[in-house]
Chain A
Amino acid sequence: MPPHHDNISPFGGFGLGLRRTHYDDFLGGFEAGKVPVDFVEVISENYMIEGGRQLRILEQVRKDFPVIIHGVSMSIGSAHGLDADYLAKLKQLEQRIDPLWVSDHLCWTRTSAHNSHDLLPMPLTEEGLDAVCANIDSAQETLGRAMLFENPSSYLTFPEDEMSEWDFLTRMAQRTGCYLLLDVNNIYVSARNHGFSAEEYLAGLPLDRVRQIHLAGHDPATPERDIIIDTHDREVADGVWELYAKAMAMLPQPVATMIERDDNIPPLTELLTELDRARAIADEALVPA
């Protein structure tokens, strides 16, 4: 039985990642007034610090917007368990910011010796599932709240895999009581790289556990490299928008949608235009046929 945590209520807004380039916009410098988003998401690790300007800016932004804290280094799939120092600092940030929710990825990033600083793929095995669930239990226990976990993009699968990624995510959510952050671009990328159906992936998930959607750009395959790469450095691709429309039509509750951009970050207005496209697609998907 998963330990009890308060349910995470659905939140149906549209948001952006808070990036340094846009600090001034969010601190009141946006020409058209308050930035028209319903929430912002920050990379947890950038704010798991002791003080300074960056933390003060986050606290100021928090006064105007709900904040989601999204991590990349929890290493929930690590066979070596979780890093106690990391969890303690994440807990401090969580208490300081009082976020809408806390999320990370279904992946591992480190061994006991080294850290890859990349979201490495989990072997989709019973042993892998046991390790992930034990770590999620520990993280949720420390934070005192349920978390969201995001499906990763991946560039290889393992010969020893025993289940599909959607089955893994489903069982993970059932066993731990965690929620899901659906990265539609990651589904698109992994489906293309591993030859599975993105629609089958969506249909195989416990969609009632989804609370957030990520949309991002990717680097297409080339003649030299038959793999597409999740890069977050360009606009969302048409195929990803189409998959987003399908996902929105299937979801039984409102979810928070956001555009992720981490490289080649354009002016805020460009991202807001992309976010408007998400709003329009969501509106259309929610209109009863």
Chain B
Amino acid sequence: MTMTLADRQAVFLRAILDEGAPLPEGWGNSQTAGMAVYRGNYRSALMGALAETYERTRAYVGEGPFAQASINHAIKHPPSGWTIDEAGEGFAQTCAQFFTENPEVAEIAWLEWQMLCLATAPDTPTFGPQDLAAASADFGDDDWEGLRLEFQPRLAARLVDFDLQTLWQALVDDDAQRPDARLESVCTCIAWREGERPTFALFDADHLAAVTAMRDGATYGELIGLLLGESAEPDSGLDDEAIQNAAMRAGAMLGQWLQEGLIVGLNP
């Protein structure tokens, strides 16, 4: 049966991705030698892309272990998108499986990926404390209750067990000594863009649920409800003090987000 162009391209690409895959019928030594070059190109392109995206992860774990993790990732997740940068997507999960004794590696890799994504995010002017003051000058209770926030488009947040600021700085400074960076309690790491520069900081753990809820469309009133739920003792009634504490906590969070430039607008 005659092979179509689509068949031939599928067989060719399968042979590049899988060195054990059969080569097309009728191929001789010259084609086999040529295929070895394409296989080498494919592998080195992916390894190169991962090494460039995960420069700090690579420096942290060392060349050999990084190469093993990269090969593992490339085999399990062959790229499908048109940009080679996508080859690095999900590498933090690969690191979590590969470096089980060092869970901080997956956190560093997660952060590097977010920083890369933020570097090319849409340019959006931030909405600071003064902008909120001006916009909310005439707000009544209902306006505050129903207020929604628009965060930077590629802002990313997750819980972390390690002080990524200390680890990151040690990698920037190329410190031979790896700092003991395990946090006393879990924190939320938020990565965002400050002007053109991707940046990140650690926040209290409860920021993750708060940011996630508000990015999903929760109102400021619902945020207070969420925080109230987290702080309330089981079976305890809701008293005025608890409500006031939750409102103050929400206010403090909002202040931090505005101050850091995480917010780009109101009521999207």
Q: How far apart are B11's CB and chain A's nearest CB, in angstroms? A: 10
CB under 8 Å from chain A, chain B span 1-39: 4-6, 8-10, 12-13, 16-17, 26-28, 30-31, 33-35, 37-38
Q: How far apart are A275's CB and chain B's nearest CB, in angstroms? A: 26
Cβ contact of A50, chosen from B17, B30, B122, cutoff 8 A: B122
CB under 8 Å from chain A, chain B span 27-77: 27-28, 30-31, 33-35, 37-38, 41-42, 45-46, 49
The answer to whether B34 touches A116 (Cβ under 8 A) is no
Is B264 interfacial (CB 8 A cutoff)? Answer: no
CB under 8 Å from chain A, chain B span 218-267: none
Task: Report which residue of A50, A83, A123, A155 has the largest number of chain B beta carbons within 10 angstroms of its beta carbon.
Answer: A155
Assembly CA distance A229 to B119 (angstroms): 33
Is B268 interfacial (CB 8 A cutoff)? Answer: no
The answer to whether A108 touches B9 (Cβ under 8 A) is yes
Chain A residues whose C-beta falls within 8 Å of the C-beta of B9 in the assembled complex = 78-79, 108, 111, 120
The answer to whether A54 touches B26 (Cβ under 8 A) is no
CB under 8 Å from chain B, chain A span 211-248: 225-227, 229
Assembly CA distance A157 to B12 (angstroms): 12
The interface stretch among B78-86, B141-149, B171-179 is B78-86
Q: How far apart are B80's CB and chain A's nearest CB, in angstroms? A: 5
- Known contacts A78-B9, A79-B6, A128-B5; is-contact A155 B82 (Cβ 8 Å): no
The answer to whether A114 touches B33 (Cβ under 8 A) is no
The answer to whether B34 touches A154 (Cβ under 8 A) is yes
Q: Residue of B at shortest CB range from A73?
A: B82
Chain A residues whose C-beta falls within 8 Å of the C-beta of B120 in the assembled complex = 49-52, 54-55
The answer to whether B5 touches A123 (Cβ under 8 A) is yes
Chain A residues whose C-beta falls within 8 Å of the C-beta of B84 in the assembled complex = 45, 117
Chain A residues whose C-beta falls within 8 Å of the C-beta of B208 in the assembled complex = none
Assembly CA distance A110 to B38 (angstroms): 13
Chain A residues whose C-beta falls within 8 Å of the C-beta of B87 in the assembled complex = 117
Is B204 interfacial (CB 8 A cutoff)? Answer: no
Assembly CA distance A238 to B123 (angstroms): 46
Give the interface size bracket for A toward B.
35 or more
B interface footprint on A110-136 (CB within 8 Å = 1, 0 otherwise): 110111111010010101100100000
The answer to whether A115 touches B121 (Cβ under 8 A) is no
Chain B residues whose C-beta falls within 8 Å of the C-beta of A83 in the assembled complex = 82
The answer to whether B37 touches A155 (Cβ under 8 A) is yes
Chain A residues whose C-beta falls within 8 Å of the C-beta of B119 in the assembled complex = 52-54
Chain B residues whose C-beta falls within 8 Å of the C-beta of A227 in the assembled complex = 33-34, 37
The answer to whether B46 touches A114 (Cβ under 8 A) is no
Cβ contact of B26, chosen from A45, A55, A159, A193, cutoff 8 A: A159
Assembly CA distance A173 to B7 (angstroms): 26
Q: Residue of A at shortest CB range from B195?
A: A53
Cβ contacts A to B, 24 pairs, < 8 Å: A50-B121, A52-B118, A52-B123, A53-B196, A55-B120, A73-B82, A78-B9, A109-B82, A114-B78, A114-B80, A115-B82, A116-B42, A118-B42, A120-B12, A120-B38, A123-B5, A154-B34, A155-B33, A156-B33, A158-B8, A159-B28, A159-B31, A160-B8, A160-B26
Question: Which residues of B are in contact with A by a Cβ distance under 8 Å?
Answer: 4-6, 8-10, 12-13, 16-17, 26-28, 30-31, 33-35, 37-38, 41-42, 45-46, 49, 78-84, 87, 118-124, 193, 196-197
Shortest Cβ-Cβ A-B pairs, 5 listed: A156-B34, A49-B120, A79-B6, A155-B34, A51-B123
